[in-house]
Amino acid sequence: MLIFFSASLRIFLALLLFNSVLFSQEPLEYPLWFLEPERVACPSISVGFATLSLYQHNSVLAAKKNAMENSARLKQFSVSGGEAFFKMERGTMSQGNSFFESFDSVFITRNTISLIVLDSLFTENCTAVLVGDSTCKEFEHFKTLVNVSDAPVPNWTSVFPHEYNYVYQVGVEQDNYYELSSWLEAERDARWKLARSVAKLALQSVTKSTTYSGQEIQNQEFSVSVSNAEITRRWRDTNNNIYYVLIRCPLRP
């Protein structure tokens, strides 16, 4: 009887400890510059990511390097690839896609000379930094933290903004436990979708159709360069574990 009581007590204490940890977790907060970078009125801003290492200084340096690469990539990147579809009676089904992305690394060297780290963000397993021109002024307001825990998902995740001179797209990535790769994949998805939209608008998308076993197979191919793209918003849906990134580029670079 005593053994049974001791085992029950241990289980009770373990559940109590679990609940106390669960409900004492700090809210998930991100600074304004991370969630709404388009509002930061500073030249040449860019956000970079890195894993969280034992020494924060090393994490910041790695994230700064990634920010330089991202700045160069958004300045001008090229995407080529294709996606296959089966056309069936009940609708069109995707059969997978393959894309290749490239950018001019020359811009990285230029960015290294002119850009500095303006602020840093450290989460459980990820480091993010904002880099920008050293002349950036009145920046303190954008360090304000926003709690995304249990907050409603912004409308832009499903309804794109409408601006006459811009093309918008949203990148989406399911949480894969590592925040770093989740954000990076969401941004990659955003760039690919944006490139595909630009290709269609520029009539650079080619659709080829073949018939196999009575089923029509379509293969959409494109190759396009995108200039002066920018990440305008980010959001993390903590209820559904989804990362969102809003990207845009001008219709006429």
Task: Using DSSP bridges, classify how beta strands 126-133 and 145-147 pair: parallel, antiparallel or unpaired.
Answer: unpaired
Q: Pick the closest to residue 67 from 121, 35, 112, 33 (CA basis).
A: 112
Q: What is the pLDDT of residue 12?
A: 44
Q: 229: Cβ–Cβ under 8 A, 6 or more apart, which residues?
A: 74, 77, 191, 194, 247, 248, 249
Q: Pick the closest to residue 82 from 63, 102, 65, 96 (CA basis).
A: 96
The residue assigned the tokens 């360090």 is: 143
Distance between CA atoms of residues 152 and 44, nearest Å: 30
DSSP state of 251: S
Q: Pick the closest to residue 190 from 182, 179, 180 (CA basis).
A: 182
Read off the pTM. Answer: 0.81
Task: Give 152-159 contacts, CB < 8 A, sequence gap 24+.
Answer: 153/235, 153/237, 153/244, 154/233, 154/235, 154/244, 156/233, 156/246, 157/235, 157/237, 157/244, 157/246
Q: 81: Cβ–Cβ under 8 A, 6 or more apart, which residues?
A: 97, 98, 99, 100, 192, 221, 222
Distance between CA atoms of residues 62 and 65, nearest Å: 5
CA 224 and chain centroid, separation: 21
- Written as tens digits, the pLDDT of the chain (253 aa) is 444 445 554 544 444 443 433 333 467 899 999 999 999 988 889 999 999 888 889 999 999 999 999 999 999 999 988 776 556 555 555 555 678 899 888 777 666 667 889 999 999 889 999 998 888 877 888 999 999 998 899 999 999 998 889 999 999 999 988 999 999 999 999 999 999 899 888 766 555 555 555 566 667 788 899 999 999 999 999 999 999 999 999 987 5
Q: What is the pLDDT of residue 200?
A: 83
The DSSP annotation for 105-117 comes to THHHHHHHHHEEE
